[in-house]
Amino acid sequence: MMQRKHMLTAAVGIILIAVGVAGGFKIHDVFFAPNRTYQGTIEQLAEPAPSGDISDARNTAVVRAAKKASPAVVGITTKVYDRDIFNRRVLVGEGVGSGIIFDKAGYIATNQHVVGNSKTVIVSLADGQSTEGTVVGRDEKTDLAVVKINVDNLPVAEFGDSDALQVGEPAIAIGNPLGLEFQGTVTAGVISSMNRTLGAEGQSMKLIQTDAAINPGNSGGALVDADGKVIGINSAKISKEGVEGLGFAIPINAARPILDALIKNGKVVRPYLGLYGLDQQMAARFGMKIDVEGIFVYKVVAGGPLDQADISRGDIILSINGTRVKDFTVLQNVLDSCQVGESVSITYMRGQSEQTATVVLQASPGNEEG
């Protein structure tokens, strides 16, 4: 039988993004392999089909979960261009990440840093097909993006419930570590922790921590539970000498509304208050003292929600809809749970008295944070 050849030419370099965080850790994202061509067959890359019955000892939860979810995990290749000495646009290589088919219409979830600024990408399906995909939306704040392909009879991943996860339960990562040469790689571990924050600038989501191996190229791939349901989108790993087993995924419950918004609008429209302010910690850095926990209003955007509610410079926002906003993290989390056009009740301190105002949230200009 003739074998189908599978080839990949990848770009110079090792990591597309490396974001510094506390203690010198680095978050590794999209993989760039050296310029060389890999040759192999689809049959060699695929898992061999088992013959005969499999014993219960071999047919574990990990095996069943991988069989269920793997067909919906794809490779996503972005082309990298440069200019030659004659200022001509030339292809210098390809960056490779992963994605998850989550809709029969051909919608694929992945990371924003996987697709970058590309308008089109190459999607490599688990069955060996490759097709061009269109990036229909991206959201840098949550590091999520949606790609659309036009292929019939696609396998679709089933989403689970990331809010119901328990620390210690099995976690299986599926993706393309180090490029398409290792497409469909499965690694297993456990849910190590929930609600982790890496400290990357602008990050607003709490992440799932796992010790299942997540390597460059796994970004955008699936983290699934023992039932084969996707409970996270693999996003980052911490790489430091002597440190192993620190991988992170975006919880699928948090990702769902973002993915829906990207399909509908191509972006996420977020509400904002229209203020520049300081919390207690930030104020202390500038030699200021705020006597109560809250957000000191330094400047109000003209015509913005706070301006229209007559909240002004010098006021201190104490709570929104009854939730105490002691710092900007809490403030942003509250706003992320609201909708544009929604009315919220804000309690604030003016002088020595507490006052309350009803504020109608507006769309954040340019998707900037409030």
What distance in Å separates the CA atoms of residue 34 and residue 94, rounded to the nearest whole number?
A: 10
Using a 10 angstrom Cβ sphere, with 0-12 exposed, 13-18 middle and 19 or more buried, the burial of residue 119 is exposed
What distance in Å separates the CA atoms of residue 246 and residue 236, rounded to the nearest whole number?
A: 9
What distance in Å separates the CA atoms of residue 158 and residue 55, rounded to the nearest whole number?
A: 26
Marked catalytic residue, from 143, 225, 315, 336:
143
CA atoms within 13 A on the CB side of 37: 4
What distance in Å separates the CA atoms of residue 167 and residue 204, rounded to the nearest whole number?
A: 22
Tokens for 349, please give them. Answer: 């301190």
Handedness of CA 337, 342, 343, 346 (dihedral sign): positive
Give first-to-last CA distance, the chain, whole Å: 61
Tokens for 86, please give them. Answer: 């004659």
Provide the 3-class DSSP secondary structure of residue 47: coil
The beta strands (E) that lie in 72-217 are given as 73-83, 89-101, 107-110, 120-124, 130-139, 144-148, 170-175, 185-196, 207-210
Q: Is 56 a catalytic residue?
A: no
What distance in Å separates the CA atoms of residue 101 and residue 180, rounded to the nearest whole number?
A: 17
Marked catalytic residue, from 192, 219, 235, 364:
219
**Residue 45: which H helix or E strand, with range?**
helix 42-45
**Residue 309: which H helix or E strand, with range?**
none
Marked catalytic residue, from 70, 113, 279, 315:
113
What distance in Å separates the CA atoms of residue 55 and residue 268, rounded to the nearest whole number?
A: 48
Q: Is 6 a catalytic residue?
A: no
Positions marked catalytic: 113, 143, 219
